[in-house]
Amino acid sequence: MKKTAVVLLAALALGGMVLAQKKVITVGIFPNLDDAIKAQLPGFNKLYPNIEVKLVTLQYADHHNALTTALATGQGLHDVEAIEIGFVGRFAEGQGFEDLNKPPYNADLYKKLFTPYTIAQATSSDGRFIAMPVDIGPGTFYYRKDILDKAGINPASMMTWNGYIEAGKKIKAMDKNIFLIANAADVAWINIFATVGAGEGYYFDKSGKVIVDSPRFVRAFELAKQIRDAGLDAKIGAWTNEWYDGFKKGTVATQFSGAWLQGHLQNWMAPETKGLWRVQQLPEGLYGSWGGSFYGIPSASKNKAEAWTLIKYLTTNRAAQIAAFKAIGAFPALLSAQTDPVFEEGVDFLGGQKARVLWREAARKVKPVEANKYDRVANEIISTALSQVLDEGKDIKAALAEAKTLIERRMR
């Protein structure tokens, strides 16, 4: 009897020590999602004082390259890994991440809490769910109010592609140094990304067949070509100095992008244009998504339970999601966070416009798109076809047919 009590006491003491001991977990992450998590961690530490979170930040490309290499060798993986939308599809197809559908995660319980299309993005073709969505990038249509006013254009008239192109012509007639858009290719891309049929992928149909020669693509290419031929675009590549310059100097009147562009414009690209920009939905009732981030748990992680605790907090805790939104403007993937009063506030940079309500509406209307292992290859091939059509005057049908065979070749 006495002996049992001693053993029990010892066990309790040991258990207590284990509990008191801090468990350290690591998170592999990239800027500026690391700023978001830094804003979220104080709240997490209050709830879970026994878990200490260490951030390992690398630049965007370096982080994903390092993650790929780590997955290849099974060495050097962190307990939690941040994954950007451009990579989530291929990591989903690989075998390196935990399937969160399975116990002990049972992510099915949480899926309905998120903006629906993000779930499809992180799901592999065989149904594994490898990462929880943390932020999203609803597509939106930016325009310079001052320029449109000067040219006497009603922004609502730009809600059809014909109207959009007509407005471009008016702007050009007013000032030949102001362009409708930085690059005509952007119009092709939003048409490709926002017109996906239900259950299809961007480049592949339900059965995985390549559909890049479908009317969807032809129309997208034709619109871009119309804009290029009318001399309405500045022929500038995104994320170049000239791109920033176009925003700064007001030589570009409109831009299609994710809602996050507002943060970039305000913080570093063109802070001096504050109050001149406005947003509206994409033309012709399109809704698309640009960007988004996820958190997944590598199968090689040694602290899966703690990792899951952290991920659950970051993605499903309303306060945490709002903290991230306030820190870096990362649009919450969590539906309940989108009803926070902060969304009803006007955005100073957009002249006090209540843009977040608009973005929230867009986010809810984006349809889920099936991810495919070959999305990146297809993206590159279509991008080449597009530049052949726009820059070199190649025939649209021929360029797309060629692109189709190139993509099919790679899917051996």
Partner 1 sequence: MQHSSTAPPRASSRQMRWSNLQRRWAPYVFISPFFVLFLAFGLYPTLFSLYMSFQSWSQTDGWGHWKFVGLENYSFTLTDPMFWRAMYNTLWLGVVSGLPQHLLAIPLAFVIHMGLSRFKTFVSAVYFLPYITSTVAVALIFSTLFSTQKGVINQTIAYLNTLPLFGWFLPDENINWFLNSTIKWGIALVVVWKYTGWNTLLYLSAIQAIPRELYEAASVDGATRWQQFRFVTLPLLRPMMFFAVSLTIIGNMQLFEEPFVLLNGGASSATQGGQTVAMYMFRTAFEWLEMGTAASIAWILFAFIAVLTIINNLAFGRAAQGRGE
Residues that bind partner 1 (CB under 8 A): 61, 65, 68-69, 71-74, 90-91, 93-96, 185, 234-237, 239-242, 245, 376-377, 380, 383-384, 386-388, 391-392, 406, 409-410, 412
Q: Minimum Å distance from CB 298 to partner 1?
A: 10
Q: Minimum Å distance from CB 309 to partner 1?
A: 25
* Residue 157, token pair as written in the block: 């008239």
Q: Minimum Å distance from CB 217 to partner 1?
A: 16
Which residue, 36 or 381, has its beta carbon nearer to partner 1? 381
- CB–CB of 37/27 below 8 Å? yes
Which residue, 181 or 386, has its beta carbon nearer to partner 1? 386
* Residue 395, token pair as written in the block: 């025939």
Q: Minimum Å distance from CB 391 to partner 1?
A: 5
Q: Minimum Å distance from CB 236 to partner 1?
A: 8
How far apart are the C-alpha atoms of 236 and 412, rounded to whole Å? 35
How far apart are the C-alpha atoms of 34 and 51, rounded to whole Å? 18
Which residue, 185 or 227, has its beta carbon nearer to partner 1? 185
Which residue, 3 or 412, has its beta carbon nearer to partner 1? 412
Q: Minimum Å distance from CB 81 to partner 1?
A: 12
Which residue, 24 or 72, has its beta carbon nearer to partner 1? 72
How far apart are the C-alpha atoms of 374 and 370, rounded to whole Å? 12
How far apart are the C-alpha atoms of 382 and 181, rounded to whole Å? 20
Q: Minimum Å distance from CB 172 to partner 1?
A: 16
How far apart are the C-alpha atoms of 389 and 383, rounded to whole Å? 10
CA 293 to chain centre: 6
Which residue, 149 or 391, has its beta carbon nearer to partner 1? 391
Q: Minimum Å distance from CB 395 to partner 1?
A: 16
Which residue, 32 or 383, has its beta carbon nearer to partner 1? 383
Which residue, 4 or 241, has its beta carbon nearer to partner 1? 241
Sequence-distant (≥ 6) Cβ neighbours of residue 409 within 8 angstroms: none
Q: Minimum Å distance from CB 250 to partner 1?
A: 14
Beta strand 179-181 pairing with 252-258: parallel
- Adjacent-strand bridge partners of 293: 84, 135
Which residue, 327 or 377, has its beta carbon nearer to partner 1? 377
Q: Minimum Å distance from CB 132 to partner 1?
A: 18
Which residue, 91 or 141, has its beta carbon nearer to partner 1? 91
Which residue, 114 or 256, has its beta carbon nearer to partner 1? 256
Q: Minimum Å distance from CB 390 to partner 1?
A: 8
